[in-house]
Amino acid sequence: MTISHVLKGHEKDLGGGFMVRRYLPSVVKQAVGPFIFFDHFGPVDVKPEDNHDVRPHPHIGLATVTYLFEGAIEHRDSIGSLQRIEPGAINWMTAGSGVVHSERTPKDLVGKPHRTHGLQLWAALPKAHEETDAAFAHTAAEEIPELEVQGAKVRVLIGSAFGRTSPVATFSQTLYLDVQLQEGQELGLSGLPEEAAVYPISGELEIDGTALALHTMALLDTRSSQRVLARSTARFVVIGGEPLDGHRFMLWNFVSSSKERLLQAASDWDAQRFPKVPGETEWIPLPQNTPRAS
């Protein structure tokens, strides 16, 4: 078996009717490599009256990784970053000891019909870097290595594959590929990191003869090579990396190897001790029933 498990995920409303499909963490596997959180949103036609803005919220112990296929997002954070995120770029925000950020519709798209489609992942930081300083890195689409492999179009978003290496800096071995195949094309995957998964964005895929439906994620047995076949024009991502150095605890938007650290972060947010995002005035409370430090 080259597929060890298939994750089906679940839908979640982020507010304002903005639905995402979430695959990680799951009861089967908490993380794939460092990726402890995997949301797929869209493709969705945004109506002029819709408001899908994500108001300022905090993180610790992780890095957010944002990648768009369609649309645009305006990112602001408490270290002063202001970045328009557009399709093809990789945006890596290291939360470390603590950061606050918002994700809003750019002003030129507010009140106008448009489409949005993308992925947001969280990479849990290694224990030695959980309390590193917050940072934000934008890697433009044209800086991402893009190549043709066996007829497939491959973008090496993070990590190294097929002899190319992404300029995106990480804290541990990490792999993130965006692959497009035409109907009938195959791509061989070999030399993958210890943990890896394939997630179809569109189209019909087979992995070594086993069909992989849309809205499912295949966890791979990387001890063998895999061949991914497109039964129709298809697009998929490959994620993975070295396993996390121990279990991670999660509380709301916080990730840590320490339960006590999560409670401290919750208390800090409750008391509004986190840094502010320049230009933002909104503050959202902790979700009801969130534990607090005693």
pTM, two decimal places: 0.96
Residues 39, 74, 156, 129, CA torsion sign: negative
Residues 21, 27, 31, 32, CA torsion sign: negative
H or E element that contains 211: strand 210-212
Count Cβ neighbours within 10 Å for each residue of 146-157 and write b for 16 or more, e otherwise. eeeeeebbbbbb
Q: Are 24 and 37 in contact (CB under 8 A)?
A: yes
- Both tokens of 66, joined, read 């944002």
Per-residue pLDDT of the chain (294 residues; tens, 9 = 90+): 589 999 998 887 766 666 789 999 999 999 999 999 999 999 999 999 998 899 999 999 999 999 999 999 999 999 999 999 999 999 999 999 999 999 999 999 999 999 999 999 999 999 999 999 999 999 999 999 999 998 999 999 999 999 999 999 999 999 999 999 999 999 999 999 999 999 999 999 999 999 999 999 999 999 888 999 999 999 999 999 999 999 999 999 999 999 999 999 999 999 999 999 999 999 999 998 888 765
Q: Please name which of 255, 58, 42, 35 lies closest in space to residue 157, comparing C-alpha atoms.
A: 35
| Cα separation, 292 vs 283, whole angstroms | 18
